[in-house]
Amino acid sequence: MLTGTSAYSFEVIENWAQWPDSVKVGYTHGIETDAAGRVYVFHTGTPSVVIFDNQGHYINSWGEQFEGGAHGFYLHRVGDQEHLYVTDTRGVVAKYTLDGQELLKIGTPDLPNIYDDSRRFVPTDVAVGPNGDIYIADGYGQSYIHRYTPEGAYVGSWGGDGVEPGKMRCPHGISVNLRGAEPELYVADRGNNRIQVFTLDGEHKRFITHDMDMPCSFYFDGSDMYFPDLHSRITIFDGQDRLIAHLGEDQQAYKQQGWPNLPKAYYRPDRFSSPHGVCADGKGNVFVAEWIEDGRVTKLVRSK
């Protein structure tokens, strides 16, 4: 079974993730691959970080502390060093080794003009710049972007709820784009149905509004950018942010009563319902994690 276009075609491998009985599966939110081809899935069940080989066989798991709050997930690679950055919607962002050793933790920023007992910090994603600076998207809280040094020292913030340039409404995902002449920060301004592009210092540069609905996050693979559109498709843009393809598009899924937790009979292998995370391995294969109550992970094998 195939999905995509004549130029970008993928074979669909359904039920790819072979979950063991020892894992209580929750909503699958984030997914990443390491240099060895292992696949890491971040979900709201427990343990929350589950590691599979490239064929979907279970290897190991850790992260019981993220049960219920697991959300954004980012694997950062510098040379032969790889680390996982995670966000917990209960107000925690942390850096880990691949086997679960905590290296850094960041909590609610000390910004009383933004946060108090009623205005919570609810991070949804994290990114790392070329110099190691950490960028955190407060997607479900106050719609700010916060910047920290690699050691976790606060640098600055920008944003807040709104529609004008520099303002956001649920900055759900964040990533550093290295495809151009200078690095840029891409923010999935999901509540405004757009992508917003900034300099690494937080200066607004432009909006991207075509060929998207509810962008969740980003994955850059060479000159291509993949992003899960919560409204039932994976989108691929080229290096100039022009549409290449929508994968697995189902424009009826998110309109169904009870979405995203639809009856099992509704789901089809080559159609997505609620994509939330996406990544690609070194062979161009794509892995998709969907926001569904008991998890759904699909592998797409590149055929063209």
pLDDT (tens digit per residue) in 244-270: 999 999 999 999 999 999 999 999 999
Question: What separation in angstroms does the CA of 106 have from each of 43, 102, 173, 197, 210?
Answer: 20, 11, 18, 24, 35
Confidence grade of residue 304 (pLDDT, cut at 50, 70, 90): confident
pLDDT at residue 6 in the model: 84
pLDDT at residue 14 in the model: 87
Question: What separation in angstroms does the CA of 7 have from each of 13, 116, 287, 304?
Answer: 19, 51, 19, 6
Model confidence at 29: pLDDT above 90 = yes
Model confidence at 59: pLDDT above 80 = yes
| CATH code (residue 253) | 2.120.10.30
Task: Name residues whose C-beta falls within 8 Å of residue 166's C-beta, 6 or more positions apart in sequence.
Answer: 158, 159, 196, 198, 202, 204
Model confidence at 43: pLDDT above 90 = yes
pLDDT tens readout for residues 75-107: 999 999 999 999 999 999 999 999 999 999 999
pLDDT at residue 7 in the model: 83
Domain that holds residue 284: 2-302
Query: What is the distance between the alpha carbons of residues 28 and 290, in angstroms, rounded to a whole number?
Result: 6
Give residue for tokens 């917990």: 88
pLDDT at residue 296 in the model: 94
Query: What is the distance between the alpha carbons of residues 37 and 133, in angstroms, rounded to a whole number?
Result: 26
Give the amino acid at 70: A
Model confidence at 233: pLDDT above 80 = yes
Model confidence at 53: pLDDT above 90 = yes
pLDDT at residue 18 in the model: 96
Give residue for tokens 């900055």: 171
| Domains of the chain: total | 1
pLDDT at residue 89 in the model: 98
Sign of the torsion formed by the C-alpha atoms of 135, 170, 163 and 109: negative
Sign of the torsion formed by the C-alpha atoms of 57, 60, 66 and 71: negative
pLDDT at residue 120 in the model: 98
pLDDT at residue 134 in the model: 98
